[in-house]
Structure 1
Amino acid sequence: MISVIMICRNQSWNIARLIESVLQETAGFPNTQITLLDSLSTDSTVEIARRYPINILRFLPGARLTPNIGRYIGHSVSQGDYLLFLDGDMQLSRGWVEQALAVFAAQPQVAVITGATVDVPKNSDTVVEDESLLPTDPAQIPLPFIGGAGMYRRAVLDKIGTFNPWLKSEGEPELCIRIRQKGYQVIMLDRPMVYHFSDPTDKISTMIGRWRRRLYMGFGQNLRNKLGTEYFWPYFWERGYGCAPLLVLALGAATFATSLITRQAGWFLAWLGLVILVLIADALRKKSLYRMVYSLVQRTLVTAGTVRGFFITPQRPEDFPMQYEVIQQASPTADKDS
């Protein structure tokens, strides 16, 4: 049995396209459970979704919303052996579900499967795929972790734990690292999985928006949560992006203090010159001043978010308030050929 969990907020412009692609791709699988979790949309997202035979849950006004709460609740209310998580601005690709299930069946060590996310301008029409051009046996590429759309084996989540709803970000990488540490695999099928209808993401303004929504604090939260556990160093080495800049800043502070004490500016100027040379080299390597500035801003925000997140007191996932209501219930879909 498959459980599809779609998480959305104010996506009336796309929700019908997403739901129809899911219904089409799961029509041949018996007892598919399809659930939409709405994060307090103020548009007609829920009204549109109610036209379809799916379950609809909606968070209550005043509910605490985090990037992972939809996945956490989706896991808790679903019964499928495999859980497919999708965002509201996506369209599911033809044939991906069938290929993913075949891999799960043949390889019990595989716990998470994703595919290529194809970014499409937000105002684009529905993507019409030529199935003859899609690979029938796509290559399997090992990944350290995924982000966004993915299918998970329930038995593994039940064994090691599911998403942490308290995290401000970094939910999927954190979970995938735990999964891999227990000997399971995370893979990508080398073919489209979803089409992602969105605005350009490579803008500094987009990063600033993420900072304002506190979406860089998950790095620090995870480091704090994993202190003293077997997962701390694996997470630190793979996702501790904000720690290296902290060391650079600490070295700068030390050279500045040394220059003040010795009244010799050479120490601090040497540090400053080295930093400038690294930035110039980065711009030359990227062949773009903008890309260098983009990377610098990103690392700065990640570092600041890591520090802020580290001081958030860890809490148990099971203590997170589950504040939602059931808007619509639908029976699991049956196999059309049964």
Structure 2
Amino acid sequence: MAVSIIIKTLNEEKRLAATIESALAALGDGQGEVVIADSGSTDRTVEIASRYPVVIAQIVAPARPSCGIGPQLGFQHSSGDYICLLDGDMLLDAGFLGAAIRFLKENPAVGGVTGHVEEMLVANLEYARRVQRNGPESRIGPIDRMNGGGLYRRSAIEQAGYLSDRNLHGHEEFDLGIRLRSAGWRLHRLDRRFVQHFGHTLNSYRLLVRRWKNKYLHGVGELLRASLGKPYFFQLMRELPELKLWGAVYLWWALSIAVLVFLPDKTLALGLVLAVLAGIVALMSLRKGGLGMGLYTVVAWFFHATALPVGFLRRRRPPAAPIESRIIHEPTRTAAERAPAGHKHFRKLPS
């Protein structure tokens, strides 16, 4: 059974060579391919990737970078029976593919399997605390999404319609998970390492601003828009607990505005609004273990709540339509290995 390892990239020159080498090593001498799905890197990402026997597909205008476009671009140019999805700053565990394929063969109702994502560089304290809890990032057994990637059956992806929605700037794993589950497939996390991840080293506030600028925070709103009219819409509403939180934030804002507008004594009105704000920050500081984390939590609420309607109102493009792209590198193949135009072919990587 052939495996296509898709590596999503956007300016990943720092760690991409190690990522590719880990993917090639995991494939060994068997049939397999590595597809670099590049969202328009401006650094040495493509140059570095071109040194290896990999396929490099890159978006072209009018396609624009997003969290969802990379996986779908790679899927579009892949042909394996199994699809393994990685970021360009991950190292694939050498034994994961074998264990994952065995599990899928033994469990035909499972459409995707992953393992633990071992975070090597975590400067965002809130994220560090979250991954230590029993959340979707660490739960063993049946799961609702495969955050960080994993191994999927191509047949399951095709039944779900597409691998990843190009319109999403975040929550693309959740979107895929709920589409697969709606189609009758299950997802599973093995109690073993999948990858080592060398992620963000920005502090919390800089990362928050970065996620605003690159539209990552629009993801929840875009996900809601994408699910409108779908049979799993209400299930998605139930499974996104942050929606209740953002609803509470909107109510808080509305009440604050009402106090400022309708209370005749404006000084008193402003004092009440600020007192409530200070009280909420104090409460979150007690829960999070410090004033810094309490203040950051409330600021993050404001960013996320503001971004949700912006993402919801963004114009969408058909998620299953071919992504505008070009192949800028691929392994040398003999004439016998070349498939007719338009036919999905499989490349055997050199040993």
Band of TM-score, shorter chain: 0.7 to 0.9
Equivalence for 2:80: 80
Contact 2:57/2:325, CA 8 A, preserved across alignment: no
Cα distance change of structure 1 residues 276 and 242 upon mapping to structure 2, 3 Å threshold: farther
Equivalence for 1:43: 43
Cα distance change of structure 1 residues 322 and 267 upon mapping to structure 2, 3 Å threshold: same
Amino acid at match of 1:26: L
- How far residue 208 of structure 1 moved from its aligned partner, in angstroms, is 0.7
CA distance in 2, matches of 1:323, 1:334: 22
Per-residue CA shift, 1:7-53, capped at 9, x if unaligned?
2122223222111111111115x321211122332333222222222
Amino acid at match of 2:307: G
CA distance in 1, matches of 2:307, 2:260: 29
Equivalence for 1:291: 293
CA distance in 2, matches of 1:261, 1:315: 43
CA distance in 2, matches of 1:57, 1:10: 14
Amino acid at match of 2:86: L
CA distance in 1, matches of 2:259, 2:211: 36
Q: What fraction of aligned residue pairs are identical, expressed as a percent?
A: 27
Equivalence for 2:218: 217
CA distance in 1, matches of 2:349, 2:232: 41
Cα distance change of structure 1 residues 314 and 80 upon mapping to structure 2, 3 Å threshold: same
Q: Determine helix, strand or coil for the equivalent of 2:46.
A: helix
1:1-338 equivalent positions in 2, closer than 5 A: 1-28=2-29, 30-60=30-60, 63-121=63-121, 140-162=140-162, 163-200=164-201, 203-239=204-240, 241-242=242-243, 244-254=245-255, 256-257=257-258, 260-261=261-262, 263=264, 276-319=278-321, 321-330=323-332, 332-333=347-348
- How far residue 238 of structure 1 moved from its aligned partner, in angstroms, is 2.1
Cα distance change of structure 1 residues 262 and 287 upon mapping to structure 2, 3 Å threshold: closer
- How far residue 219 of structure 1 moved from its aligned partner, in angstroms, is 0.9
Structure 2 residue runs without a partner (length 5+): 123-138, 334-346
Contact 1:72/1:165, CA 8 A, preserved across alignment: yes
Cα distance change of structure 1 residues 335 and 262 upon mapping to structure 2, 3 Å threshold: closer
Cα distance change of structure 1 residues 72 and 185 upon mapping to structure 2, 3 Å threshold: same
CA distance in 2, matches of 1:259, 1:46: 54
Cα distance change of structure 1 residues 184 and 321 upon mapping to structure 2, 3 Å threshold: closer
Q: Determine helix, strand or coil for the equivalent of 1:198.
A: coil
Q: Which moved more, 1:53-62 or 1:204-213?
A: 53-62
Contact 2:67/2:168, CA 8 A, preserved across alignment: yes
Amino acid at match of 1:284: L
CA distance in 1, matches of 2:114, 2:197: 14
Q: Which moved more, 1:269-278 or 1:199-208?
A: 269-278
CA distance in 1, matches of 2:45, 2:33: 19
Cα distance change of structure 1 residues 291 and 85 upon mapping to structure 2, 3 Å threshold: same
Equivalence for 2:132: none
Q: Which moved more, 1:263-272 or 1:11-20?
A: 263-272
Q: Which moved more, 1:197-206 or 1:264-273?
A: 264-273
Contact 1:40/1:59, CA 8 A, preserved across alignment: yes
Q: Determine helix, strand or coil for the equivalent of 2:295.
A: helix
Q: Which moved more, 1:305-314 or 1:291-300?
A: 291-300
Contact 2:91/2:195, CA 8 A, preserved across alignment: yes
Contact 1:3/1:78, CA 8 A, preserved across alignment: yes
Structure 1 residue runs without a partner (length 5+): 123-138
Cα distance change of structure 1 residues 48 and 178 upon mapping to structure 2, 3 Å threshold: same
CA distance in 2, matches of 1:35, 1:51: 13
Q: Determine helix, strand or coil for the equivalent of 1:152.
A: strand
CA distance in 2, matches of 1:335, 1:12: 23
Cα distance change of structure 1 residues 161 and 272 upon mapping to structure 2, 3 Å threshold: farther
Contact 1:256/1:268, CA 8 A, preserved across alignment: no
Amino acid at match of 1:108: P
Q: Determine helix, strand or coil for the equivalent of 2:6.
A: strand
- How far residue 330 of structure 1 moved from its aligned partner, in angstroms, is 4.6
CA distance in 1, matches of 2:270, 2:319: 45
CA distance in 1, matches of 2:3, 2:54: 13
